[in-house]
């Protein structure tokens, strides 16, 4: 018999909620109320993977204030190529520039997840995925952006691998969940270790 443990996802992301729902977890969700850009600026000297970890913990700690004795899951993802850290495009020109900058190159997705209990971080983890884009012509990128429309602004790289974004790539090294922004396998292992889910 598993003791009753409240699990809370510190996110309003439908993708992250879907991942937990598909895994059969019972949980609540609440978006964190933090200034991500300000936190990112203060953590930036540590590199994109550190930024992802700091944001994941900050989200979980903020939401933890509202849920005593609950295990609060926070997650965040950064995208980097060499020294550049990317952000979501706010218009078509930015999305186009992002995609062209990835052409023929390998970028990294840094996906962090943390569990917080009563404001204290009890576990944290970072997973990586490396994605190599095909050599993309400007004409193809324009047609791609025409087809996906506003979806180009919903993810940091301007693509969703579960959709037409798969056409952008020639190689992918990393697991699907890391690419979606929530490393499920290490998270589930830790939830089992904590006795929060059936193990």
Domain ranges of the chain: 7-193
Query: Where are the extended beta strands (E) located within the chain?
Result: 7-9, 28-29, 71-81, 84-86, 106-117, 120-133, 169-173
- Partner residues linked to 106 by β-bridges: 132
Say yes or no to pLDDT of 40 above 80: no
pLDDT in tens, 47-92: 888 889 999 999 999 999 999 999 999 999 999 998 888 989 999 9
Angle at 157 between CA 153 and CA 160, to 5 degrees: 80
* Interatomic CA distance for residues 71 and 166, integer angstroms: 34
| 2 has a pLDDT exceeding 60 | no
Other CB atoms within 10 A of residue 140 CB: 15
Pick the CATH number of 7-193 from 3.40.50.300, 3.30.750.210, 3.90.950.10, 3.40.50.10190: 3.90.950.10
Q: Flag whether pLDDT at 168 surpasses 90.
A: yes
Instruction: Of 5-14, 110-119, 138-147, give the lowest mean pLDDT range.
Output: 5-14
User: Residue 117 — φ and ψ, nearest 5°?
Assistant: -125, 120
pLDDT of residue 45: 65
Q: How sure is the predictor about 161, in pLDDT bands with cuts at 50, 70 and 90?
A: confident
* Catalytic residue positions, numbered: 76
> Mind listing the pLDDT tens digit for each residue in 137-150?
999 999 999 999 99
User: Which pLDDT score, from 0 to 100, does residue 147 have?
Assistant: 96
Angle at alpha carbon of residue 157, lines to 60 and 14, rounded to 5°: 45
Contact 95, 156 (CB under 8 A): no
Report the percentage of the chain scoring pLDDT > 70. 97
Helices (H) and strands (E) in the chain, counts: 7, 7
Structure tokens at 101: 């900058």
The structure tokens listed for 137 are 């012509």
pLDDT at position 44, please?
60
Model confidence band, residue 1 (pLDDT cutoffs 50, 70, 90): very low
What are 167's two structure tokens?
């056409």
d(CA 69, CA 64): 8
pLDDT at residue 171 tops 50: yes
Whole-structure pTM value: 0.88
């Amino acid at each position: 018999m598993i003791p009753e443990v409240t699990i809370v996802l510190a996110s309003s992301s439908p993708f992250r909620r879907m991942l937990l729902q598909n895994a059969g977890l019972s949980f609540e969700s609440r978006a964190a109320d933090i200034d991500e850009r300000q936190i990112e600026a203060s953590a930036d000297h540590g590199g994109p993977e550190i930024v992802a970890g700091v944001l994941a913990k900050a989200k979980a700690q903020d939401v933890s204030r509202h849920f005593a004795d609950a295990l609060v899951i926070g997650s965040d993802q950064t995208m980097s190529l060499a020294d550049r850290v990317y952000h979501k495009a706010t218009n078509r020109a930015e999305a186009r520039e992002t995609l062209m900058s990835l052409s023929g190159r390998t970028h990294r997705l840094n996906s962090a997840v943390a569990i917080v209990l009563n404001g204290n971080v009890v576990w944290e983890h970072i997973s990586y995925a490396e994605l190599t884009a095909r050599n993309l012509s400007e004409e193809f990128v324009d047609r791609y952006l025409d087809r996906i429309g506003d979806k180009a602004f919903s993810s940091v790289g301007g693509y969703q691998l579960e959709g037409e974004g798969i056409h952008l790539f020639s190689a992918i090294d990393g697991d699907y969940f890391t690419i979606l922004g929530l490393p499920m396998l290490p998270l589930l292992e830790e939830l089992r270790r904590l006795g929060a889910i059936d193990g």
